[in-house]
Amino acid sequence: MGALPKIDYIMDNLTLEDIAKKAGVSRSTVSRVINNQESVREEVRQRVLRIIDETGYQPHFAARSLASRRSRLIGLVIPRGVHTLFTDPYFPRLIQGISQACNQNDYTLSLFIFNSEEEEKKLYPRISRQGMLDGLIVQAAQLEDELLTQLMERGASFIIAGRPYNLPEANFIDVDNVFAARTAVKHLIQQGRKRIGTITGPKNTTAGIDRYEGYQIELKEHGLEIDDRLVVEGDFTEEGGYTAGIQLLKHNPDAVFSASDVMALGLIRAANELNLKVPEDFALVGFDDLPPAKSSNPKLTTIRQPILRLGIHLVETLLDIIDNGGELPQRIMLDTELIIRESCGSGYR
């Protein structure tokens, strides 16, 4: 009674040869059928397929990789310095997207998390090992990531999730953080807010830099000047948002743009302690629109990043790079969307 394919377990460890014999054809023909090559008589193809189906034959992964020089395995690399891997809901979502796209394309995903410098050293040879991975997705981490430089030099097939710093020839996909931040800040300005502060991301990440830049540009655009006391650096954690919030709220902002929803939650906690109300005392716009955005009180107005799509896009672009060798660097920016809820004080849509 299986929804899962039920197969004849007596016949296990089958090889191409076995299938060929059963079907009365040669190994090559079976191989052609498996690899969907045209040049096989339809009748033969059907016969072979039937036998494969009946026996539950699966080509041997290692043998196939060795002969074809393709593993259909890609790696997701999380460099050290990505400390929020275990607290930021961004990553599970990204992994989900990547995983889905891998499944779709018959690729398998391997995970390489560099928990320490030691592990990075140990793992680097592994990710660049012959015959193991067809390509890599590397999460952008801190500025001047040596890992990325090495991969470039090596001529590896890889793509970066997030804009890398100072690496014009590398492939990457990112959301347009500058534009997104501008949208957030513009919305606050449109609500009539004047003293707009920000909790930034870490200044040694491009996400932190770019969102801060968007904030600055938009304020200038509207002739508002930047009060440095209203700019506090966070680290993309709730705790960091709280700490930054305590700091920031001393200086009476009437609005805050938080570079992530999770930090916005920390800010709200800080506000509660200080008996400040959102959005009455200050309006708030976050960034991400992941589940936490809706479990705050008030619910967050925020910038929605298409993270799932980012994951899918990463895989598909990577596969393209693997297959067609990336001539010109792919530098792709995805759009974001302002989601209006309660925290900005402009009414629930």
Q: Is 4 in the site for its own copies (CB under 8 A)?
A: yes
| Sequence-ordered list of residues with C-beta below 8 angstroms from that of 295, at least 6 positions apart, any chain | none
Interface with its own copies (CB under 8 A), residue from 25, 30, 51, 123: 123
Q: Which is nearer to DNA, 47 or 299 (CB)?
A: 47
Which residue carries 């708030």 as its tokens?
284
Contact 340, 188 (CB under 8 A): no
128's tokens: 């660049």
Contact 329, 117 (CB under 8 A): no
Instruction: State the amino acid at position 244 in one-letter form.
Output: A
DSSP string, 26-78: -HHHHHHHHTT-S-S-HHHHHHHHHHHHHHT----HHHHHHHHT---EEEEEE
Interface with DNA (CB under 7 A), residue from 8, 53, 67, 83: 67
Q: Is 199 in the site for its own copies (CB under 8 A)?
A: no
Residue 320: exposed, middle, or buried by beta-carbon count in 10 A (0-12, 13-18, 19+)? middle
Q: Is 322 in the site for DNA (CB under 7 A)?
A: no
Q: Is 35 in the site for its own copies (CB under 8 A)?
A: no
What's the closest the beta carbon of residue 243 comes to its own copies, in angstroms? 11
CA dihedral sign, ordered 110, 115, 119, 120: positive
- Write the DSSP symbol of residue 84: G
Interface with its own copies (CB under 8 A), residue from 39, 42, 129, 347: 129
**b/e per residue 80-90 (b: at least 16 CB within 10 A):** bbbebeeebbb
Calpha distance 150→336 (Å, rounded) = 31
Contact 164, 172 (CB under 8 A): yes
Q: Is 5 in the site for its own copies (CB under 8 A)?
A: yes
Contact 293, 341 (CB under 8 A): yes
What's the closest the beta carbon of residue 100 comes to its own copies, in angstroms? 6
Q: Which is nearer to its own copies, 128 or 142 (CB)?
A: 128
What's the closest the beta carbon of residue 29 comes to DNA, in angstroms? 4
Q: Which is nearer to DNA, 55 or 149 (CB)?
A: 55
Name 333's bridge partners: 174
Partner from its own copies, DNA, none binding residue 190, C-beta < 5-8 Å depending on class: none
Interface with its own copies (CB under 8 A), residue from 147, 167, 173, 322: 147
Sheet containing 283-288: which strands, arranged edge to edge?
231-233, 196-200, 255-258, 283-288, 301-304, 337-339
Q: Which is nearer to DNA, 35 or 103 (CB)?
A: 35
Interface with DNA (CB under 7 A), residue from 7, 21, 27, 233: 27
153's tokens: 């030099």
Interface with DNA (CB under 7 A), residue from 22, 29, 167, 242: 29
Partner from DNA, its own copies, none binding residue 91, C-beta < 5-8 Å depending on class: its own copies
Calpha distance 7→21 (Å, rounded) = 19
Calpha distance 165→142 (Å, rounded) = 8
Q: Which stretch binds its own copies (CB under 8 A): 33-41, 61-69, 156-164, 170-178?
A: 61-69
Interface with DNA (CB under 7 A), residue from 12, 50, 54, 66: 66
Q: Is 53 in the site for its own copies (CB under 8 A)?
A: no
Binders of DNA among residues 127 to 186 (CB under 7 A) are: 130-131
- Which positions lie near DNA, rule CB under 7 A? 13, 15-17, 24-29, 31-32, 34-35, 38-41, 44-45, 59-60, 63-64, 66-68, 130-131
Residues that bind its own copies (CB under 8 A): 2-5, 9, 13, 56, 58-63, 65-66, 71, 73, 85-87, 89, 91-93, 95-96, 99-100, 103, 108-113, 115, 117, 119-126, 128-132, 146-147, 150, 153-154, 237-239, 242, 265-266, 269, 272-273, 291-292, 294-295, 297
